[in-house]
Amino acid sequence: MTLDGPIPGIPGAAMRQVPSLPAELPDGIRVGPFAQAKPGVLLLCVPGVARYLVCGGTSIDIAVEPDADPGAVLLYLRGGARGALTLQRGELPLHAATLVAPGGSQGLSICGVSGAGKSTMAAELVRRGWALVADDMTRVTWEEGAGVLAWPGDGVIKLWNDACTRAGLDTASLLRVREEMDKYFWDVPTLPKPAPLGTIVELRHDGPFGLTDVTGAAGMALLSENTFRRPHIVALGRAQDHVRIVGRVAAQCRILRLTGARTVPLAELADRIAAI
């Protein structure tokens, strides 16, 4: 992936590689171990990897550290930097993998905390013929006349080695997410245009295996809890926009919670999701 040019799935936004970026953001607020933010601007400084300056929902400048791990550079670009850019636009960066069923027209997002199994499930559904929209972080928008849309990502799924084995992938040909991790980027074709988002399923490990609808204020809370880089919202000056987009998505999409996700085999879990 080049570090110069349009940002996939975010029309009107571009990235560029620059020689250097500052280590501090004037008047910025710390919003994590590597990030500082203020309205309209986020500076992400990852030691030994890169610095990312995200501005106005339209641009990401990237200053790569000498001898940086290429996978790590892409990891933070596709995650924290792209998530901040989405928040700056008043949109929803949902911590979710999104796919469209064979012959279907609406997207289904699988959200959850890190390690919930979103990407592993996405790989299993791709193997069954589902089309990938985005993995890990899905940009969700609301437009008058179009409703809620899920936008295509960078065309990769991040998989641990055991998930690669299940998918029949040779890890020798894949880029590691980070040099010290047994996790890999798998290139997967994505839909060429955004998909109407119809259903959002939260994967949970706790409780007995079962699927329940989540409606009203509880549905909005679920979406907010599964927002990528949620602590950045207030510092970026987007609290009201966040409430607005969460409300619109909750009003239009069916939201469900699937508990006990690790109590059944992957194939059975995929069957349950595919049957929704």
Asked whether 252 and 196 are in contact (CB, 8 A), the reply is no
Phi then psi dihedrals of residue 201, to 5 deg: -120, 125
How large a percentage of the chain has pLDDT more than 90?
A: 92
CATH topology of domain 93-274: Rossmann fold (3.40.50)
Please compute the mean of the pLDDT values over residues 99-108 and round it to a whole number. Answer: 96
Nearest of 141, 147, 157 to residue 99 by alpha carbon:
157
Q: Where are the domains of the chain?
A: 5-91, 93-274
Number of helices followed by number of strands (H, E) in the chain: 8, 19
List the beta bridge partners of residue 9. Answer: none
The C-alpha atoms of residue 71 and residue 184 are separated, in whole angstroms, by 9
Which stretches of the chain are assigned E, i.e. beta strand?
5-6, 14-17, 29-30, 35-38, 41-46, 50-55, 59-64, 92-94, 96-100, 107-111, 131-134, 138-143, 147-151, 156-160, 175-176, 183-187, 195-203, 210-213, 254-259
252 CB-near residues (< 8 Å, 6+ apart): 142, 147, 148, 197
The C-alpha atoms of residue 183 and residue 10 are separated, in whole angstroms, by 26
Nearest-5° Cα angle at 147, 142 to 149: 65
Nearest of 72, 88, 81 to residue 7 by alpha carbon:
81
Average predicted confidence (pLDDT) for the chain:
95
Please compute the mean of the pLDDT values over residues 240-259 and round it to a whole number. Answer: 97
pLDDT at res. 180 = 87
List the beta bridge partners of residue 99. Answer: 108, 132
Digit-coded pLDDT (tens) for 125-138? 999 999 999 999 99
pLDDT at res. 1 = 56
Digit-coded pLDDT (tens) for 188-204? 999 999 999 999 999 99
pTM of the model: 0.94
pLDDT at res. 166 = 87
Return the half-sphere exposure (C-beta side, CA atoms, 13 A cut-off) of residue 254.
Answer: 11
Which range has the worst mean pLDDT, 1-5, 54-58, 73-77, 156-160?
1-5
Query: 């589902």: which residue's tokens?
Result: 130
* Amino acid at position 158, single letter: K
Digit-coded pLDDT (tens) for 80-99? 999 999 999 999 999 999 99
pLDDT at res. 91 = 98
